[in-house]
Amino acid sequence: MSDQDLAGALGLTIFCAPARYVQGRHATQALGYELKKLGLDGPLLIIACRSARRHLEDVWAKTLGNLDISYDILDFGGECSDAEIERGREEALRVGARTLVGAGGGKVLDTARAVAAALELPVVCCPTTAASDAPCSALSVIYSPEGVFERCLFYRRNPDLVLVDTWVIAKAPVRTLIAGMGDALATYFEADAAGRACRPNQVGGLSTLAAQNLARLCYETLLKDGVEAVAAAREGVVTPALERIVEANTLLSGLGFESGGLAVAHSVHNGLTQAPETHDRLHGEKVAFGTLVQLVLEGREAALVDEVLGFLWAVGLPMTLLGLGLETLSVAQAEAIAQRALAPGETAHNEPFVVTLEALRDALFAADAIGRAYTARVECESSIKPALKAESPR
């Protein structure tokens, strides 16, 4: 019996988290100090995307050089695939790495975690965007070289250190922060569904009160600070609202999804990767629409659905299939997406009812219709108000 099967059989609750989480403006300057504090040493292998090197290479030289921590940098190849993981493993062996560091977006961090797990080495995650809740997790999402979802790899432990430099994140494309909010949006609703269904979370146990409440706080933070954080990101500046949204996207969502559980929203994302038209859309953008599909499938009250639609509209997340690049969707295509979302082991089965292919297919079309109707309504109201103002007496 596996550890997860044993936890399920005993009805155990399980909560997991990274060993240490550090966030703030210019946090990278403390990387060497934080490594030493945790007893982590070089040689390091830093797997980095181009933007991470551009913004941080000089900072690494100083913070690591001052503490005599040796390191090498491997440029990320662009996709968290089996081939890229093997390339990282070979490079880590070549340089004699004792610690892996991932610096970049979610796929960079997933690759670094996979390499570290393969070599049984500690891993540090330094996200340069707040585009997903990947940094804190003990899993990697594996894609084909073409970007099609293949599977998840689960690890024995979470990262040893997650270090989030909000100065760097403020310089990232605004779209990435918005996509991270789309990913985080699903956290509360998926954890709630898995909890009501008494389904296991991502580490095989039942959800704790801590996970459920962190997931709820994540949602409340998005509603409260999302719009203001987007405004700050558009200016490339760090504000308290931006700090709170980065924490929501990264820490609250990370703890909430892994220890709370996933449901339909992420399964719909996985299904949507089957459509080539969606491959240029970010993970969180597809998850945002998947959240709307989940709410429709669950028959949630209109006021809640309207609240979610209002948030999607306010921050600029897609709420229609067209927003994901799908100008048309046939019944056959919708069924293919639903079938992939309902594959054995998918988290769509964590709902407190049986999700059928027909019901999920119909929810895809219904969510799109609701999103289109909301968009038309808001655009109509926006065009009417200026006209009324112009016609009103002085």
Beta bridge partners of 139: 154
| Tally of residues, the chain | 394
Closest CA to 15 of 211, 253, 150, 306: 211
Q: What is the mean pLDDT of residues 386-391?
A: 49
At 245 the three-state DSSP class reads helix
Quick one: tokens of 169?
Answer: 């994140």
CA-closest candidate to residue 130, choices 50, 244, 5: 244
Q: Is the C-alpha dihedral spanning 107, 108, 112, 115 positive or negative?
A: positive
pLDDT digits (tens, 9 = 90+) for 123-148: 999 999 999 898 999 999 899 888 78
Catalytic residues: 183, 266, 269, 283
Taken in order of first residue, the domains within the chain and their CATH numbers are 13-171 (3.40.50.1970), 174-381 (1.20.1090.10)
Tokens of 270: 């996985």
Q: Which residues contact 27 (CB under 8 A, 6 or more apart)?
A: 163, 164, 165, 166, 167
Q: Is 46 left (phi over 0), alpha (psi -120 to 50) or beta?
A: beta
Query: Are residues 336 and 342 in contact, defined by beta-carbon separation less than 8 angstroms?
Result: no
Q: At 3, is the pLDDT very low, low, confident or very high (cuts 50, 70, 90)?
A: low
Asked if 143 and 161 count as a contact pair (C-beta separation under 8 A), the reply is: no
- Per-position DSSP letters for 205-229, written without gaps between them: SBPPHHHHHHHHHHHHHHHHHHHHH
Work out the pLDDT band at 390, boundaries 50, 70, 90: very low
Report pLDDT for 68. Answer: 96
Whether the per-residue pLDDT at 174 is higher than 90: the answer is yes
Instruction: Tell me the helix, strand and coil percentages in the chain, rounded to 5.
Output: 60, 10, 30
Query: Is pTM, for the whole model, over 0.75?
Result: yes
Average confidence (pLDDT) over 278-284 = 92
